[in-house]
A and B are shown apart, each in its own frame.
Chain A
Amino acid sequence: MKQEILQITKNKVKEKLEKSDQKIINLSLIVEKLQLKINELTELLKIISDQEYPSIDQILGIKDYCKFYLLEDKSQISTLNFKEEEEIKKILDYNIGITIEKDVKEITNKLCKNILELIDTKEKIDLKIDTLIKENYINLYNIATPKIACKMIEIAGSFERLSRYPASTIQLLGSEKSFFKALKFNKKTPKYGILYNHPLIINLTNKKKAKIARSLASKIALGLKADVEKKDISKDLINKIKTKISEINE
């Protein structure tokens, strides 16, 4: 009897843990933490590198900054194909950076390579998350965009739970903290959660934002139901949202 139940439980546990949504949630957690580590290590690198090449970190993102730092002969900067090339050249021409000893440079180069390695790992994970969402939840992927889709699954805790949420919950997803704050201080409750970052919403005026967020949330709710049934109705839903936006803009 006990053996039977143990076997049932084992199978169920494995089945649950092997589901794509759980993989997505775990990978997304790793990506978030990895990004923090990358930022932290970059700060360490800059303690020294910023004195050698002041202000360059203001111009380049972390990945390009590291590539620039590792380039041995800075006069070859055009090989890196940065659009910020002219700006950087100007700063280099001021020639106010210090020169550091070879053995210290070896250390900072190593640190820099470590950072690039972590960035590479992070990009591989991002790609895997993207593929997992696309392969399994195509409507959510297309309507919500991959980043927001991932975040929504993460907040809900599972795809199954997310797919059962009504549109009103989806619209507010991610605003839970500010939602309770608003209730507590009798402020207006927020009208949008992470959906606020959606490319179709982010540039609208506040008044329009709320309207489109509502429509978008309802389409996502429909899309999720279609994902459960493995049907792709995303094109149709996106067209409906776009119609709504042009109506509002008239």
Chain B
Amino acid sequence: MNKQIILKNQKIFTKNNLTEKVREWDPNRSKVAAGIKKGIMPNIKEDDKVLYLGAAEGYTISYISDILTKGKVYGIDISPYSMQKLLILAEKTENIIPILGDCNKPFEYNEIIKKKFDYIIQDIAQKNQAEILIKNSDIFLKEKGLALLSLKLSAISQKNHKKTIDDQINILRNKFRIINQKRLDPFEKNHMLILLEKK
């Protein structure tokens, strides 16, 4: 396990290597932390290059930044309002790189990034969540690279149809090997977290 992640008294903390600051990571606010509580260890290495799709204002990214003592995290989000706040966070932090972009169009930010990644994290509530991950991993993820996908089930199927959700997971199976998958209740309703490895 990454040594910047500390589990203590049922709680999760990360430790920043530079500032030595220890911060609690709230599983009710971050699906990655909720995943850790449910037994999905993200397996992020300290020198990984991480691509984060749906970075929002950067709550989770700030913890990923702690974990990456020698790595970098590129955060993409479509909302300029969220990006203002992510920019402020990025100014304060060495290894966060924020990019305003639509994850349905990875070729657009590929022009700025031009890099391969070891790891992709995705947290976007859209109907085509699986497709978005595949598009991005085709361009950015190294072979055998890992992906941590938060699937919002109600965004895929209004009525929570099992078949529609299975379809999404089957799409993923074409390109990935599923390492682990768990529902995130009680931290997040209607969410599934899936750890994948690129074939």
Note all chain A residues with C-beta closer than 8 A to B84: 13, 17
Prevailing SS type, chain B contact patch:
helix
Bin the interface of chain A by size: 10 to 19
- Of the candidate stretches A2-10, A83-91, A197-205, A215-223, the one touching chain B is A2-10
A8 CA / B83 CA spacing, docked (Å): 12
Q: Per a CB cutoff under 8 Å, which of B91, B112, B159 touches A5?
A: B112
Cβ of B39 < 8 Å from any Cβ of A?
Answer: no
Answer whether residue B158 sits at the interface, using C-beta atoms and an 8 A cutoff: yes
Q: Are B158's CB and A9's CB within 8 A?
A: no
User: Which residues 119-160 in A have Cβ within 8 Å of B in the complex?
Assistant: none
Using Cβ atoms and an 8 Å threshold, which residues of chain B touch A17? Answer: 80-81, 84
Residues of A within 8 A of B81 (CB): 17
Closest chain B CB from A91 CB (angstroms): 50
**B90 interface contact, C-beta 8 A:** yes
The reply on A82 being an interface residue by CB < 8 A is no
B69 smallest CB distance to A (angstroms): 17
For A2, list chain B residues within 8 Å (CB): 97
A184 shortest CB reach to chain B, Å: 8
Distance, CA A180 to CA B154, complexed state (A) = 13
Say if the beta carbon of A240 comes within 8 Å of chain B. Answer: no
Does A6 lie within 8 Å of B90, measured CB to CB?
A: yes
Cα of A180 to Cα of B159 in the assembled complex, Å: 10
**Shortest distance between the CB of A224 and any CB in chain B (Å):** 20
Structural contact, A16 and B80, CB atoms closer than 8 A: yes
The 9 closest A-B pairs by CB, nearest first: A16-B80, A12-B100, A13-B80, A13-B83, A17-B80, A9-B98, A9-B100, A5-B97, A2-B97
